[in-house]
Chain A
Amino acid sequence: DAKTTQPTSMDCAEGRAANLPCNHSTISGNEYVYWYRQIHSQGPQYIIHGLKNNETNEMASLIITEDRKSSTLILPHATLRDTAVYYCIVRVLHNAGNMLTFGGGTRLMVKP
């Protein structure tokens, strides 16, 4: 699976949009972009995933560039409870057998 590069940490003001970037310049055509987050003391929580189209769900939006070499996770109105480590992972989907390979992630701190 392709590797990803994320900033180590970011701050965001409560109520503002949090934009978390991820570079995946070696992504292959059949690799999806997945985002998870891990709030302290909990297991990773699935957020969203996409292939090439932008995606939105109740938690976040995922914007993938046209060349698919980078993406941005957007939390539209960050709250204190969104403080967590956010992981961007690229993964091939076949037979659901591909495990997730975690990098260092971005530690997002939402401040009052």
Chain B
Amino acid sequence: SAVISQKPSRDICQRGTSLTIQCQVDSQVTMMFWYRQQPGQSLTLIATANQGSEATYESGFVIDKFPISRPNLTFSTLTVSNMSPEDSSIYLCSATPNSGNTIYFGEGSWLTVV
């Protein structure tokens, strides 16, 4: 398995600002993903974080709004840019360890935009 830590766990943000969420995994992983979960909804994939190259975004998500970095095999960041109240969600980091194919999740980062 993999232990995935996210920071911050919770934050209240002002409209128009940007926030960067960090994701740290305790072991080397092959794949890292970022999901969004809006209030009362299921999880939606934002993008796949690729090590050393640009992230692969899903339909409806763009790099200008959600820039992602993955400088090495255990760390990734997601920035939510120019936030509006509609961005209030849980943002979840997930990863697949080198040793297997199961995807594990962090505890999520709860963002409230006011």
Contact = CB atoms under 8 A, between A and B. Distances in A.
Contacts, number: 53
Nearest to B30: A96
A76 interface: no
B43 A46 contact: no
B108 A42 contact: yes
A44 B92 contact: yes
B77 interface: no
Interface residues of chain A: helix, strand, loop or mixed (majority)? loop
B24 to A, nearest CB: 14
| A: interface residue count bin | 20 to 34
Interface residues of B, number: 24
Interface in B3-48: 4, 30-31, 33, 35, 42-45, 48
Interface of B: 1, 4, 30-31, 33, 35, 42-45, 48, 92, 94, 96, 100-108, 110
